[in-house]
A and B are shown apart, each in its own frame.
Chain A
Amino acid sequence: MSKKVLIVDDEEVIRKFLKIHLTKLGYEVTEAADGEQAIEQLGKDDFNLIICDILMPKKNGWEVIKEVKSNPKMKNIPFIVLTAKNEDSDMFKGYDLGANYYMTKPFTKAQLLYGLRLMLHEAPEEIRV
């Protein structure tokens, strides 16, 4: 059974290429365009990984982390923050709120695979860098 990944980002193009990459790697991908949709999807399904943007309309990434990490059912889902906010203070804030990994935009496929390996303890051939 393939693992399920939730991609949360208001940028369509980013969701698009993330989905192509992850699908190729054999993950089942669900998309959400903002924080509200993310929470909705999380309620519907069990996920093995969340990749989430911070600056989004309606509900931002910080709020999504808070909700996920305060929900006993979800708090063990690995949470990757993927954001353009690249200041140290933002990164610390992310980890403080309970994010498991903090990735900044722009990023390469290799950086993405490294994060996946770290979070899912898997080592697909290509991930080796």
Chain B
Amino acid sequence: MEMQFKMDDQERKRIILALRWTAIIVTSYLILFGRGRVTNLHLSHILIAIYIFSNILLYFFPKTWFSNSKFFYPLVLFDTGIVSFGMYLSEKMTTDFYIVFFLIIIFASISRNFKLLMAIGGITALLYGVLLYSWGLLTTEHGSSYTLRIPFIFIMTAFYGYIVQTLTREKREELTISEDKYRGLFENANDGIILLRNPQLQIADVNREVEKVTGYPKKELIRKEIFDLFAPEEIEKARSYFKEVVEKGEGRADCLSLKKEDGVSLEVDLSTKRIDLGDESFYQMIFRDLTEQRKLEKKIRESKRSLEAIFDGIQDHLSLQAPDYKILRVNRTVAENYKTSFQELIGLKCYEVYFQRTLLCEKCPVSLTLETKKPASSIMKLSEGNTTLKIFSYPVLDEKGELTSVIEYMKDITEEQRLQEQLIQSEKLAGIGILASGVTHEINNPLSGIIGMAEIALEEDDPSKNKDYLKDILTCAQRISEIVKGLKSYSRAAKKEDQSPVDLNEVFEESLKMVHLATKTISVEVIKQFQPIERIKANMGEIQQVFTNLITNAFQAMDGNGGKLVLSTRSLKDSVEVKVTDSGMGIPQKYLNQIFDPFFTTKKLGEGTGLGLNIVYRIVTKYEGTIDVKSKEQIGTTFTIKFPTRRVEV
């Protein structure tokens, strides 16, 4: 495109220069050999020199200048002046020639058709020639100068005509281009555009979108009054709107209804502005079809409503919090629970409302979520009542991944915890059942001793011997008493209030004794590696439950085939570690991640509840400890438990 323009500029410059050379030659000839002769030869020479020099100078001018009217018009003026002056000098204004020259200029300047101009130029030259001939001027001594006038007329017509024609063509092209541009914008706009005549408000033009949206063809719309386009019930509204537009020159309106060709009404937003085009003025009315937008809005409203229903339907406490802990929203459950309205809670800080505190809670999961942008949870006990809450917090992120708010979800787990306690208790009873047979055995032995010895004593007449028998009886009875004592400590209910500093070594030892009663198996070598360790605050019964479960499992894993049981304790930086290692059959890899699940068991029905390790896990985690298992089939299993020594009080 640019190349094309350059070619045009080049062409134009060449033509103009050529035309000028021709004009210079003819003008010079007229001056030098003209009929009237030149009165001032110097002046005429200077004039010719200037003319020639100007054309030489033009060679150095950039070609784009020749398309620029700011340069071009003065050039034409300059040329006209030179030629006129030249003619004056040659003719001394005595003939009509200069009139012919001005006629040529007038012709050329009003011409918009170059071919027609050339035809007129040709006819004029011919006519002038015929006139000269009929007057007999061509045969006079100045005949040659008269003859020269004929091509002169033609050349000057061509020169001026070309200039005027190219200039006007360019203007027209520019206009066409800009009009096309605006027509394109107008036609392809996504909004409907209607041009209205002022003041009749009659439709002058519409774009394609109007046709598409209303369903009327353009030719039907043109000359309609704008009010014909509105739905009947909206006409009054439309009239008042246009009244305002006429007064102010512009105006907007939301939600007017247009009537479509098929009678269906169409909701639109309107914006109208007056535009003045010369003498005429129009109103440009732009409207946007709101149908899609309304549908979208409806969808958004629906999804908002369903989200709200979910939010309110949740029976646990749910609230949305700003990063400064201020409540942005709460669900119905919160409002009902605090016997207040939504509005009253909004803007308050969560800890003020839920925990009656003035400062942030110590174990606040929200603060963790604010820090990490990840979900968090913690368990908190309410200051009043016996309520335990589990609090979850979830981040709400914007498109950029920045945290905007946090959802806090509070679940009352008091009942759940109570059931868990019950489960632990019942599992303990089940454990007692398992122990019972072993204990029976252990009691039956000394009991047999008592019965046997008593019978012998009864038959014995020698009192000195009886003393010996009675001693045996006493020993046996004491043994039974010991066993019963052990059982009692085992079955003692694990109540929360019962927490006291517990010496893990002691409980370990006692648990071992208990299990030993039940599983008095041959050749299990028990190795105890107890280090002095810090006491931890816990319920002794629960700790014992953990140990007896693990030791029982260890014995069962060795299944009477003998082996080695290593029990060890040691002190770490912030925790104490307890290890139970057996050399039993091991746990198959595939079960390793299931062993802590409730009711998971590989034992036959009736032999195990599948709760043992689950209870162990619960108790350990209750004291914020960790439990870890390593096992290799046919080699053995190690359970490692760590209890923190400085536990935060819950």
Knowing A84-B440, A106-B444, the reply to whether A55 touches B520 (Cβ < 8 A) is yes
What distance in Å separates the Cβ of A122 from its nearest Cβ neighbour in chain B? 20
Interchain CA distance A59-B451 in the complex, whole Å: 27
Interface status of A127 (Cβ within 8 A of chain B): no
A55 to B447, CA, bound (A): 16
User: Is A105 a contact of B448 with CB atoms below 8 Å?
Assistant: yes
Residues of A with C-beta under 8 A to B452 = 13-14, 17-18, 21, 107, 109
- Residues B522 and A105 in contact, CB atoms below 8 Å apart: no
Does chain B have a CB within 8 A of A16? yes
Whether A13 pairs with B446 at a CB distance below 8 angstroms is yes
A100 beta carbon closer than 8 Å to chain B: no
Distance from B532 Cβ to chain A, minimum over Cβ atoms (Å): 30
**From A18, which residue of chain B is reached at the shortest CB distance?**
B452
A87 to B520 CA separation, bound complex (whole angstroms):
16
In angstroms, Cα B455 to Cα A83, docked, is: 19
**Which one of B444, B450, B456, B522 contacts A84 once the chains associate, using CB atoms below 8 Å?**
B444
Is A13's CB under 8 angstroms from B472's CB?
A: yes
Which residues does chain B contribute within 8 Å of A56, judged by CB atoms?
Answer: 522
Most B C-beta atoms less than 10 A away, residue of A13, A18, A104: A13
Chain B contact residue count (CB 8 A cutoff): 25
Question: Is B445 a contact of A84 with CB atoms below 8 Å?
Answer: yes
Within 8 A of B (CB), among A1-55: 11, 13-14, 16-18, 20-21, 35, 55
Cβ-defined partner of B440 (8 Å) among A11, A59, A86: A86
What chain B residues lie within 8 Å of A16 (beta carbons)? 453, 472
User: Does B456 contact A105, Cβ atoms closer than 8 Å?
Assistant: no
Q: Within the complex, which residue of B447, B450, B456 is in contact with A20, where a contact is CB–CB below 8 Å?
A: B456
Contacts A20-B456, A84-B440, A85-B441 given; indicate if A106 touches B522 (C-beta within 8 A): no
Tell yes or no: B523 within 8 A of A by CB. yes
Cα distance, A109 to B460, chains bound together (Å): 14
Considering the chains assembled together, what is the distance between the CA atoms of A108 and B451 in angstroms?
Answer: 7
> Which residues of B are in contact with A by a Cβ distance under 8 Å?
437, 440-453, 455-456, 472, 475-476, 520-523, 560
Q: List 28 A-B contacts (CB under 8 A).
A: A11-B448, A11-B449, A13-B446, A13-B449, A13-B453, A13-B475, A13-B476, A14-B445, A14-B448, A14-B452, A17-B472, A18-B452, A35-B522, A55-B441, A58-B523, A60-B521, A60-B522, A84-B441, A84-B442, A84-B443, A85-B441, A86-B441, A106-B444, A106-B447, A106-B450, A106-B451, A107-B448, A109-B455
Known contacts A17-B455, A83-B441, A84-B448; can you find 6 more A-B pairs with CB under 8 A? A13-B472, A21-B452, A85-B437, A86-B440, A105-B445, A108-B455
3 closest A-B pairs by CB: A17-B452, A84-B444, A84-B441
